[in-house]
Amino acid sequence: MRAPWLWVLNGAMKVLVVEDEEKIASFVQRGLEEAGFRVEVRRDGDAGYDAARGEPWDVIVLDIMLPGRDGLSILENLRAQRNPVPVILLTARSELDERLAGLDLGADDYLTKPFFVAELIARIKAIGRRLSRDQLSLVEVGPLTLNLLTRRASVGEEEVELTAREFALLEYLCRSPGRVLTRTQIYEQVWDYDFDPRTNLVDVYVARLRKKLGAAARLIETVRGVGYRMKQA
């Protein structure tokens, strides 16, 4: 699933708080809004689950004990649907088993009640910093994702095995979606050589990429007589 954390990059994180205790929900909402976050609150598990699925959030602050769906079942269903939104669990209990269960289901962090809002804010900001770093390391065009740190490419959930040169070519195309890149530009950027007009090396490598990308090969367009363009998805 593509990362939806656009608010992180714009500096205003969007937070969903799912908490049934009115005083705690109000206290948390006020504290987070004063710290500059965009906050929405849901007071029961069913409403919280619908909101969590209905739109992208940067972080969900999720109480475990809720009327309707409980927090752990909400978390389990989100992860089953490949929803990667970061989740911080809130619980009035201190038992290790419950905390471990939440982490095993894919929670990013937890806080035990009572807690200071300042600590919650610090943990949300830490998640925001991590997401910003992760987002900067990813290049995405349609179903195609390039991880610039690991130098790996994937189409949807399926990894695509590429050579270093193939990855460099795909990265160059993906960094400028919608822009026509001439063979000369591609050759000089990817191979770092002066362009030899007699070579068809660029065309050979584009053909290799298309074969490996499967259905995503449609993203690479040939501009006759000029070069290639990555479609804007």
Instruction: Count CB atoms within 10 A of the CB of residue 52.
Output: 23
% of the chain residues with pLDDT over 90: 52
pTM of the model: 0.59
Assign domain 6-136 one CATH number from 3.40.50.720, 3.50.30.50, 3.30.1330.60, 3.40.50.2300. 3.40.50.2300
Q: What is the CATH number of domain 139-230?
A: 1.10.10.10
Q: Note the pLDDT of residue 144.
A: 93
Please, which pLDDT band fits residue 83 given cuts at 50, 70 and 90? confident
Q: Got the DSSP string for 28-84? A: HHHHHHHTT-EEEEE-SHHHHHHHHHHS--SEEEEESS-SSS-HHHHHHHHHHTT--
φ, ψ (nearest 5 deg) of residue 42 = -125, 140
Q: What is the mean pLDDT of the chain?
A: 86
Q: What is the pLDDT of residues 153-185, one digit of tens each?
A: 999 989 999 988 899 899 999 988 889 999 988
**pLDDT for residue 151 is more than 80:** yes
Question: In the predicted model, what is the mean pLDDT of residues 221-226?
Answer: 93
Nearest C-alpha neighbor of 149 from the set 162, 163, 138 = 138
Domain assignments of the chain as residue spans, ordered by start: 6-136, 139-230
